[in-house]
Amino acid sequence: MKIGILALQGDYEKHTGILDELGLDSILVRYPFELIDIEGLIIPGGESTTLTHLMKRMNFYKAMTDFANEKPILGTCAGLIMMAKVVNHHLVKPLGLLDIEVDRNGYGRQIHSFTENLPVQLNNHIEKIPVTFIRAPKITKTGEGVEILAEYHGEICAVKQGKHIGLAFHPELDGVSIFHKSAFIPNSISSNKEKPHAA
């Protein structure tokens, strides 16, 4: 299985290490026609207004929404913003893949970045993992069919809808692979460290 990483701008190289660890081939996607050759896509962190500009210029919008109808997408930080239905910034044009509303830079500026250990519920298991927030967005509203995977101080920071996953944080910076595995190897056990969900 070959997974693409959108490589227009931002933090995309760290994701290749996670995919290598899972035994998945990866390619850096810079043109819409390259979506034909992959079975899943990662939209990494970066700057959402810049991503909007580049995706418009490269004619990615229709190609990516068509791709998402059939295949999974994982979005981290700015990737989550791009996957949202509504974003509170007039220069961002989201894809509308997740029925959520997002407050861009909701957790503050770069100097407010932080790492926490959070419990994540995924594939009927709960696991505590380190998560790093960097100029992170806040999910302010979710629609029907959106599964909440994790919260930070009562605020939603990870969601899943259908085959797609959106994260306000950067799992690739902490070597966390459970989201990549869930998105792209959905029938696998999420992690060797998983604990059964309490009855």
The DSSP code for 45 is B
Q: What is the 3-state secondary structure (H, E, C) of 59-86?
A: CCHHHHHHHHCCCCEEEECHHHHHHCCE
Is 101 marked active-site? no
Is 151 marked active-site? no
- Give the span between the Cα atoms of 178 and 188, in whole angstroms: 10
- Alpha-helix runs per DSSP H in 110-154: none
Annotated catalytic residue: which of 15, 77, 127, 164? 77
Is 112 marked active-site? no
Q: What count of Cα atoms within 13 Å lies in the side-chain half-sphere of residue 164?
A: 28
Q: What are phi and psi of 65, to 5 degrees?
A: -70, -35
Annotated catalytic residue: which of 15, 127, 157, 170? 170
Side chain identity at 133, as an amino acid letter? Answer: F
Annotated catalytic residue: which of 15, 127, 164, 172? 172
- Give the span between the Cα atoms of 103 and 136, in whole angstroms: 9
- Alpha-helix runs per DSSP H in the chain: 13-21, 48-57, 61-68, 78-83, 178-184
Partners of 2 in the β-ladder: 25
Active site residues: 77, 170, 172
